[in-house]
């Protein structure tokens, strides 16, 4: 919806320096009323739907997104039919395939999807290789391919990587391996010699560019099942796999990879969460236990509890742990690996905190030197390469700028970037590679990886600042905090949350509702955990609200809470359900504050 220009509650500059704006303008308010009256919706739910542009005709499909209505024909994706035919021949002839997956959640889930399918199809167990982040880096490499060929593989399937792997695939071709790429990263004009299935190919017209790699793999498996059915592969002796039961993996990858939660992706996550609640996948059930998840999984848990633990193996431990966990049927072994991933995640948090302190100091030095920054690029020689993406994300959050963090080992550094909404760093990194400013790189609009030589960092920094300046200026100019509605203190309850959650799952592209609690008096505030600030609020209606501001310690938001005891603030917050020892309650997550005077 078009935002109104008047400030919400008169807030033109909050504690975090942002104006507050109502999500709904006059036409949005009219749409919310029409949704409520036409479909008999709760007023708050109608406001949330209207704020996400849901029309009167779309309400029923939006509230119950189904795979059946949103699933495209896999054949609409460029070269999908060629890939499916080659995969079908591999199954029919009992060919040995090898899977080369990325070391993140999307790569692990994509690899597990293929392995599970091959087992049901009665084909030989695939060989699996997840590269070591430090010693091998991102994407296929010649040594790993030679090893897989030596173990008998004749077909290489890369998932969540491979779109730019010209040289490694030339080696594969010399060794007699056919190659299929199932990927979603931004693609150059000239593709490697392989069957490349990637809805972000420049010549792909499927409109499925928002899928993560696991989503692409799922489409491929739908097409593969259809083709094998026409070839009478399935029958009483060999039932076709229930692909809907694998949506837990697609949902996990979609949320963890920050894919937009609209259309088919939203259906994947909604249905995948339902599958996950059954706890039928041994590895995921063990990981939920290790993460101390109490209650049914929600999209929030996928991104902040399960995803980071699977990623921890690829960041600082054994990169293959996550993929192996997701394919296990042995609960004892699953529990062992899940506990190890939980331990690695805790270790990762310590490493990240130490590196982040240095990165923030370097960023602040750059601000001292110039006031024309449109992109932060920081580098360190003692940073663990596994946490650079997290450092970039924290810098982006703190300084509200696209940010890159690069870990150097000698003269070569590998790093990651995170961006603001509306600023495409993936395309810009590809341009840097073309100009010789980076050795290799690419990714999505919101996240990218990059490899750079030490003597090119200054030039890369200058290029990124110039190339992104216009996009960043536009993005920051529109950087208002967008409010869905105001709530009283007594309005913060489970009944409201359950009504609003019908518009979920929330995430990238389907923003979580943001509410304002007007004129809250801060009764108490204290730092808890690893830099979080917990506060008790008292509203004018006498209600008491317990709230928390995550990672706010040392920030303007945290300082305002800690120093504002007895003072009145408007509090912008998001609501979620939190279950502890079987008791469910509302968790109020503070996003911003503004003085009530």
> Rounded distance, CA 3 to CA 23, Å?
6
Average pLDDT over residues 306-318: 94
Q: What is the CATH number of the domain that holds 13?
A: 2.40.50.460
Average pLDDT over residues 576-590: 86
Number of helices and strands in the chain (H, E): 21, 18
Q: For residue 587, is it within any domain? A: yes
Range with lowest mean pLDDT among 133-137, 448-452, 522-526, 588-592 = 133-137
Residue ending a domain, choose from 477, 493, 509: 477
Task: Tell me 510's DSSP state.
Answer: B
Q: What is the CATH number of the domain that holds 333?
A: 3.90.1640.30
Residue given tokens 């070569």 in the structure block: 412
Co-location of 159 and 201 in the same domain: yes
Co-location of 401 and 524 in the same domain: no
Co-location of 455 and 312 in the same domain: no
Co-location of 473 and 485 in the same domain: no
Tokens representing residue 493 in the block: 């309850």
> Rounded distance, CA 389 to CA 417, Å?
6
Percent of the chain scoring above 90 in pLDDT: 86
Do residues 118 and 126 lie in contact, with contact meaning Cβ atoms separated by under 8 Å?
yes
Distance of CA 71 to the CA centre of its chain: 21
Find the distance separating the first CA and the last CA of the chain, reported in whole Å.
29
| pLDDT 10s digits, 13-65 | 999 989 999 999 999 999 999 999 999 999 999 999 999 999 999 999 999 99
> Rounded distance, CA 128 to CA 324, Å?
9
Co-location of 409 and 381 in the same domain: yes
Which residue did the predictor score with more confidence, 7 or 512? 512
Do residues 244 and 67 lie in contact, with contact meaning Cβ atoms separated by under 8 Å?
yes
Average pLDDT over residues 366-390: 91
Co-location of 318 and 381 in the same domain: no
**Spatial CA neighbour of 251 closest among 266, 236, 237, 263:** 266
Q: For residue 210, is it within any domain? A: yes
> Is 90 exceeded by the pLDDT of residue 7?
no
Q: How confident is the model at residue 321 (pLDDT cuts 50, 70, 90)?
A: very high
Residue ending a domain, choose from 477, 498, 513: 477
Phi, psi (rounded to 5 degrees) for 501: -65, -15
345 to 123, 279, 348, 383: CA distances (angstroms): 35, 22, 5, 16
> Rounded distance, CA 492 to CA 352, Å?
34
DSSP 94-129: T--EEEEE-SSHHHHHHHHHHHHHHHHTTPPPPEEE
pLDDT of residue 5: 52
Torsion of CA 537, 540, 543, 546, to 10 degrees: -10
Average pLDDT over residues 450-474: 95
Q: For residue 48, is it within any domain? A: no
Residue ending a domain, choose from 452, 477, 502: 477
pLDDT of residue 232: 95
Co-location of 186 and 267 in the same domain: yes
Percent of the chain scoring above 70 in pLDDT: 99
Q: For residue 503, is it within any domain? A: yes
* Relative orientation angle of helices 105-120 and 307-316, to the nearest 10 degrees: 100
Phi, psi (rounded to 5 degrees) for 346: -65, -40
| pLDDT 10s digits, 168-191 | 999 999 999 999 999 999 898 999
| pLDDT 10s digits, 498-517 | 999 999 999 888 999 999 99
pLDDT of residue 133: 86
* Total length of the chain: 597
Q: For residue 43, is it within any domain? A: no
| Triad 263, 268, 273: Cα angle to 5° | 135
Task: Tell me 305's DSSP state.
Answer: I
Q: For residue 435, is it within any domain? A: yes
> Is 80 exceeded by the pLDDT of residue 490?
yes
Task: Tell me 292's DSSP state.
Answer: T
* CB under 8 A, 24+ apart: contacts of 551-557: 551/394, 551/397, 552/590, 553/527, 555/398, 556/15, 556/16, 556/17, 557/15, 557/16, 557/533, 557/590, 557/592, 557/593
Co-location of 473 and 487 in the same domain: no
Range with lowest mean pLDDT among 29-33, 196-200, 239-243, 527-531 = 527-531
Output b/e per residue, 149-173; b: 16+ Cβ within 10 A. Answer: beeebbbbbbbbbbbbbeebbebbe
> Rounded distance, CA 452 to CA 438, Å?
5
pLDDT of residue 2: 41
Classify burial at 497, counting beta carbons within 10 Å of its beta carbon; exposed 0-12, middle 13-18, buried 19 or more: middle
Phi, psi (rounded to 5 degrees) for 4: -75, 160
> Is 50 exceeded by the pLDDT of residue 3?
no
Distance of CA 380 to the CA centre of its chain: 25
Please, what is the average pLDDT of the chain?
A: 94
Q: For residue 92, is it within any domain? A: yes
Do residues 95 and 118 lie in contact, with contact meaning Cβ atoms separated by under 8 Å?
no
Co-location of 494 and 375 in the same domain: no
Question: Helix H segments across 370-387?
Answer: none
pLDDT of residue 121: 97
Question: Helix H segments across 282-387?
Answer: 282-290, 299-301, 307-316, 321-326, 331-369
> Is 60 exceeded by the pLDDT of residue 316?
yes
> Rounded distance, CA 504 to CA 62, Å?
9
**Domains: count for the chain:** 3
3-state secondary structure of 42: coil
pLDDT of residue 478: 74
The dihedral sign for the CA sequence 218, 220, 223, 229: negative
Co-location of 494 and 435 in the same domain: no
Average pLDDT over residues 430-453: 92
Output b/e per residue, 300-311; b: 16+ Cβ within 10 A. Answer: bbbbebbbbbbb
> Rounded distance, CA 428 to CA 419, Å?
11
Do residues 574 and 542 lie in contact, with contact meaning Cβ atoms separated by under 8 Å?
no
Q: Which domain holds residue 566?
A: 8-23+481-595
| pLDDT 10s digits, 545-559 | 999 999 898 889 999
> Is 70 exceeded by the pLDDT of residue 1?
no
Q: What is the CATH number of the domain that holds 417?
A: 3.10.310.30
Q: How confident is the model at residue 584 (pLDDT cuts 50, 70, 90)?
A: confident
Residue 137's region, left for phi above 0, alpha for psi from -120 to 50, else beta, is: left
Co-location of 77 and 172 in the same domain: yes
Q: For residue 364, is it within any domain? A: no
> Is 80 exceeded by the pLDDT of residue 378?
yes
Co-location of 130 and 245 in the same domain: yes
């Amino acid at each position: 919806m078009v935002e109104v220009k008047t400030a919400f509650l008169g807030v033109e500059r909050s504690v975090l320096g942002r104006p507050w704006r109502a999500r709904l303008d006059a036409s949005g308010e009219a749409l919310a009323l029409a949704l409520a009256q036409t479909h008999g919706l709760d007023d708050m739910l109608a406001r949330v739907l209207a704020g996400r542009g849901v029309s009167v005709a779309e309400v029923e499909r939006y509230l119950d997104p189904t795979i059946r209505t949103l699933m495209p024909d896999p054949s609409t994706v460029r070269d999908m039919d060629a890939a499916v035919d080659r995969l079908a021949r591999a199954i029919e002839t009992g060919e040995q395939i090898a899977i080369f997956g990325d070391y993140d959640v999307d790569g692990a889930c994509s690899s597990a999807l293929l392995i599970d399918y091959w087992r049901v199809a009665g084909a030989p167990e695939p060989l699996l290789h997840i590269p070591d982040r430090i010693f091998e880096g991102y994407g296929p490499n010649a040594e790993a391919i030679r090893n897989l060929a030596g173990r008998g593989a004749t077909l290489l399937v890369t998932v969540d990587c491979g779109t730019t792997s010209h040289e490694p695939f030339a080696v594969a071709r010399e060794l007699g391996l056919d190659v299929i790429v199932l990927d979603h990263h931004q693609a150059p004009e000239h593709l490697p010699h392989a069957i490349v299935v990637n809805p972000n190919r420049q010549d792909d017209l499927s409109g499925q560019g928002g899928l993560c790699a696991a989503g692409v793999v799922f489409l491929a498996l739908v097409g593969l099942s259809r083709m094998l059915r026409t070839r009478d592969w399935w029958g009483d002796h060999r039932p076709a796999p229930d692909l809907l039961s694998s949506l837990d993996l697609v949902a996990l990858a979609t949320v963890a990879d920050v894919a937009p939660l609209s259309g088919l992706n939203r259906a994947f996550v909604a249905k995948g969460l339902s599958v996950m609640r059954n706890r039928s996948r041994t590895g995921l059930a063990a990981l939920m236990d290790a993460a101390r998840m109490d209650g049914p999984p929600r999209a929030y848990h996928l991104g902040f509890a399960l995803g980071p633990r699977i990623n921890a193996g690829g960041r600082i431990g054994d990169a293959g742990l996550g993929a192996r966990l997701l394919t296990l049927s042995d609960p004892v072994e699953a529990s062992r690996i899940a506990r190890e991933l939980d331990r690695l995640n805790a270790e990762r948090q310590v490493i990240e905190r130490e590196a982040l302190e240095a990165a923030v100091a370097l960023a602040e030095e750059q601000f001292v030197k110039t006031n024309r920054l449109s992109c932060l690029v920081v580098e360190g020689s003692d940073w663990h390469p596994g946490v650079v993406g997290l450092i970039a994300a924290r810098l982006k959050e703190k300084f509200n700028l696209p940010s890159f963090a690069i870990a150097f080992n000698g003269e070569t550094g590998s790093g990651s970037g995170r961006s603001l909404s509306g600023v495409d760093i993936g395309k810009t990194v590809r341009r840097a590679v073309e100009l010789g400013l980076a050795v290799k790189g690419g990714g999505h609009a919101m996240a990218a990886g990059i490899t750079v030589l030490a003597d090119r960092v200054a030039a890369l920094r200058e290029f990124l600042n110039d190339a992104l300046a216009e996009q960043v200026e536009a993005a920051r100019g529109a950087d208002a905090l967008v409010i869905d509605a105001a709530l009283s203190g007594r309005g913060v309850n489970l009944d409201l949350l359950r009504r609003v959650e019908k518009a979920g799952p929330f995430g990238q592209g389907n923003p979580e509702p943001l509410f304002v609690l007007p004129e809250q008096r801060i009764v108490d505030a204290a730092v808890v955990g690893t830099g979080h600030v917990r506060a008790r609020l008292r509203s004018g209606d006498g209600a008491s609200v317990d709230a928390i501001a995550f990672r706010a310690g040392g920030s303007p938001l945290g300082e305002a809470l800690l120093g504002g005891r007895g003072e009145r603030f408007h509090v912008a917050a998001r609501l979620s359900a939190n279950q502890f020892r079987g008791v469910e309650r509302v968790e109020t997550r503070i996003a911003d504050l503004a003085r009530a005077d």
